[in-house]
Copies of this chain bind each other. A is one copy, B any other.
């Protein structure tokens, strides 16, 4: 198996770690620049006793000051770099989630490395959409034989892959926002392969679906996983014309990096256009009902959240950072009916649309 190292021979682990830390700074700075009157994000570094570390950058509007009108209501931009041994049960789950990749079975588990950035932004104005993005790199290696202490060498890679995506969750539908968001993503994808945008756009609509509501979480974006040098369950063969895509680790990294760097231009212009629009208590109520659906998706279906909640010693506050400040549930709500502004959103959530061609 080709070892995913750069031409400068810096290991991909180190490259990806540098990337997420730098992207985190860039994104947090962009939000802080947008709302100079608001308190800064709170930077919170943590160490994982079993191996690894991370930084949570979190925004919260002052809790006991309801008159404060910051652009954001609640936001978190997390990075983490963790490693250790993946127990057999976790490998089993991982094998189920990553069917296109052969993961070896070992009774004593396998060493892993994971680095990623994950963010969720909940703005205050009901006209401004919530956004989520996540980019990650994963390695599974051979157990190192500690008895053979001659020369420390890089552990042998058994599997590596990139994953990620981003999606937009409006409470009120502005078609031009969905088009801008999707166009930005498509432009990045198309530079790396013609099948990437259509495949990952569809995957996103499928992943962020709430079966018990029969609706998607929002207007979608991209979702992908298991990107490596091997064949991919959802992508056409690289030997075909439409199958051209990055397969070397360096080239996939370039694609993922370009997506990460497109976050600010994909979202900040939307937020700038919406955050100061006039809004009504009625719109706020609908926004909180939609936040309720966000909670339902994250707690019931989201793979990362579920995995995190089941992991002993996981950092719960970072995992649940994605939840909104406030959410609302009404029994048989009268909001969302056909012919209303709320109903216009529901239509595209029930039947995902192609936003760009």
A contact residues vs B (CB 8 Å cutoff): 42, 44, 56, 58, 60, 63-64, 66, 74, 76, 211-213, 281-282, 285, 288, 292, 295-296, 299-300, 309, 314, 316-317, 319-321, 323-333
Contacts and interface: CB of A to CB of B under 8 A. Distances in A.
A77 to B, nearest CB: 12
A321 B325 CA distance: 21
A299 B331 CA distance: 16
Which of A44, A56, A282, A296 has the most B CB atoms < 10 Å from its CB? A296
Contact of A44 (B63, B212, B330, B332): B332
Contact of A299 (B56, B300, B317, B319): B300
A329 B324 CA distance: 6
A295 B288 contact: no
Contact of A316 (B44, B212, B309, B321): B212
Nearest to A327: B327
Nearest to A291: B327
A328 B325 contact: yes
A192 to B, nearest CB: 35
Given A60-B331, A299-B300, A331-B60, A316 B213 contact: yes
Which of A66, A323, A333 has the most B CB atoms < 10 Å from its CB? A323
A64 B317 contact: no
Which of A56, A309, A329, A333 has the most B CB atoms < 10 Å from its CB? A329
Contacts of A333: 63
Contacts of A56: 331
A74 B309 CA distance: 28
5 contacts: A60-B331, A63-B330, A76-B331, A288-B326, A300-B309
Nearest to A297: B299
A316 to B, nearest CB: 5
Contacts of A292: 323
Contacts of A320: 296, 329
Contacts of A328: 325-327
Contacts of A330: 60, 63, 325
A321 B331 contact: yes
Given A63-B333, A74-B329, 12 more contacts: A42-B331, A64-B282, A76-B331, A212-B316, A288-B326, A292-B323, A299-B299, A300-B300, A323-B329, A324-B329, A326-B327, A326-B328
A56 B331 CA distance: 10
Given A295-B299, A299-B295, A326-B328, A212 B288 contact: no
Contacts of A296: 299, 320
